[in-house]
Homo-oligomer: A and B are copies of this chain.
Amino acid sequence: MKTLEVDLGNRSYPIHIGTDLIDRPELFNACEKATSIFIVTNTTVAPLYAERLTRTLEKLGKQVKTIVLPDGESYKDWKNLQLIFDNLLKFAADRQTILVALGGGVIGDMTGFAAASYMRGVRFIQVPTTLLAQVDSSVGGKTGINHPLGKNMIGAFHQPVAVIADLNTLKTLPARELSAGLAEVIKHGAIADADFLDWIEANTSALLACDTTAMAYAVLRSCEIKSSVVSADEKEGGIRATLNFGHTFGHAIEAGMGYGEWLHGEAVGCGMVMGANLSCRLNYITQKEVSRLTQIIGSMHLPTQPPPFGAQRYMELMQVDKKTEGGQIRYVILEKMGKAIIQSVPDGQVIETLTATGAHQ
């Protein structure tokens, strides 16, 4: 097991990465002072791991209840958040209750926002069971739900007290979800570490086969990159926004298709192709680098071809995305492979990218 610390002063927390971690009660020692523990999970993950995790937590001498939500991005809404609150209140959860998010990014985001808002804030632990959640969404404290008019529009910054990434849970992951997670792994290389990107390119097969050694490194390095960025800029005043590479286009794809049609990671994978195209158009990276990144993304079985909504629809969808400020969209651009910057871009060049990538036909 490897442990790395996210350094956020009195909100610091450990990320544990290894195999069979959900059987180890000592990793959940934050629960020692909890009055009760609520596992929040979904209908897919519950049959696989909820009982094992319950047994582990009960070894701490605590009462453990499980709240099971439907599975999928389309359920990341107020209605299902309410289901969490209803259960917490029904079973008299108090301010010393701890929530445990057992599942992917949707479960982590919703549980985190429930923890942020229940009685104005209780603690929570992330037990991410998808690659996407292990390398991205469980780290950094962004929580929230979707609004019909935009993704993650309602939420809070609320840091977990621990992240426990059990690599064995990835073995049961459908291939499509594994690929979606690899999109964020590639992103970390592209924005922050060219050597890591080389390593990813050289280990494509091992990663797609969910090889434990390869996966352990991919998760660890991703968490290191993400947590160092988050430590420097917890609430996304500046550098943290570079983690959104591929996300402005990706969110437009997700919203335009209807949440849940494309997996978040698939949309980000395709969004990175578009972001790379734009970076090249702005004379930062070369066409060859765009092709190479596109090839890496494609080799992970991720889509590289955006849906052809047309330029106007993309611009509308991106306008409502939360990274707009004063009407100006800020794009994450690759200054070079392994380094991202943020800037606004004239609509004309964005439309050229939409046309060149087939988003506008």
| Residues of A that sit less than 8 Å from B by CB | 35, 78, 82, 85-86, 89-90, 92, 94-96, 116-121, 142-144, 147, 149-150, 152-157, 235, 319-320, 322, 324-327
- Known pairs A35-B325, A89-B153; list 11 more (Cβ under 8 Å): A35-B326, A86-B147, A89-B147, A89-B149, A92-B327, A94-B324, A117-B155, A119-B155, A120-B155, A120-B156, A120-B157
Contact A154 B78 (CB under 8 A): no
Query: What residues of B have a CB within 8 angstroms of the CB of A142 in the complex?
Result: 120
Contact B118 A153 (CB under 8 A): yes
Contact B325 A95 (CB under 8 A): yes
Q: How far is the CA of A324 from the CA of B36 in the complex (A)?
A: 13
Residue ID in chain B nearest A113 by CB atoms: B117
Query: What residues of B have a CB within 8 angstroms of the CB of A320 in the complex?
Result: 89, 92
A-B contact pairs, 14 of them (CB 8 A): A35-B326, A86-B149, A89-B147, A89-B149, A92-B320, A92-B327, A94-B322, A116-B156, A117-B155, A117-B156, A120-B143, A120-B155, A120-B157, A156-B156
Residue ID in chain B nearest A322 by CB atoms: B119
Q: Which of B85, B143, B155, B235 contacts A153 (CB 8 A)?
A: B85
Q: SS class of chain A's interface: helix, strand, loop or mixed?
A: mixed
Contact A235 B121 (CB under 8 A): yes
Contact B94 A325 (CB under 8 A): yes
Residue ID in chain B nearest A154 by CB atoms: B117
In the complex, what's the smallest C-beta–C-beta distance from A205 to chain B, in angstroms? 38
In the complex, what's the smallest C-beta–C-beta distance from A132 to chain B, in angstroms? 19
Query: What residues of B have a CB within 8 angstroms of the CB of A89 in the complex?
Result: 147, 149-150, 153, 320
Q: How far is the CA of A82 from the CA of B117 in the complex (A)?
A: 15
Contact B119 A85 (CB under 8 A): no
Contact A121 B156 (CB under 8 A): yes
Contact B118 A154 (CB under 8 A): yes
Contact B35 A96 (CB under 8 A): no
Residue ID in chain B nearest A157 by CB atoms: B120
In the complex, what's the smallest C-beta–C-beta distance from A95 to chain B, in angstroms? 6
Residue ID in chain B nearest A324 by CB atoms: B94
Contact B95 A322 (CB under 8 A): yes
In the complex, what's the smallest C-beta–C-beta distance from A144 to chain B, in angstroms? 6
Q: How far is the CA of A309 from the CA of B228 in the complex (A)?
A: 56
Query: What residues of B have a CB within 8 angstroms of the CB of A153 in the complex?
Result: 85, 89, 118-119
Q: How far is the CA of A153 from the CA of B119 in the complex (A)?
A: 5
In the complex, what's the smallest C-beta–C-beta distance from A118 to chain B, in angstroms? 7
Given A117-B156, A154-B85, A324 and B147 touching (CB < 8 A)? no
Q: How far is the CA of A253 from the CA of B143 in the complex (A)?
A: 34
In the complex, what's the smallest C-beta–C-beta distance from A255 to chain B, in angstroms? 12
In the complex, what's the smallest C-beta–C-beta distance from A266 to chain B, in angstroms? 24
Query: What residues of B have a CB within 8 angstroms of the CB of A94 in the complex?
Result: 322, 324-327
Query: What residues of B have a CB within 8 angstroms of the CB of A120 in the complex?
Result: 142-144, 152, 155-157, 235
Query: What residues of B have a CB within 8 angstroms of the CB of A157 in the complex?
Result: 120-121
Query: What residues of B have a CB within 8 angstroms of the CB of A82 in the complex?
Result: 78
Residue ID in chain B nearest A79 by CB atoms: B78
Q: How far is the CA of A147 from the CA of B119 in the complex (A)?
A: 11
Q: How far is the CA of A82 from the CA of B142 in the complex (A)?
A: 20
Query: What residues of B have a CB within 8 angstroms of the CB of A85 in the complex?
Result: 147, 153-154
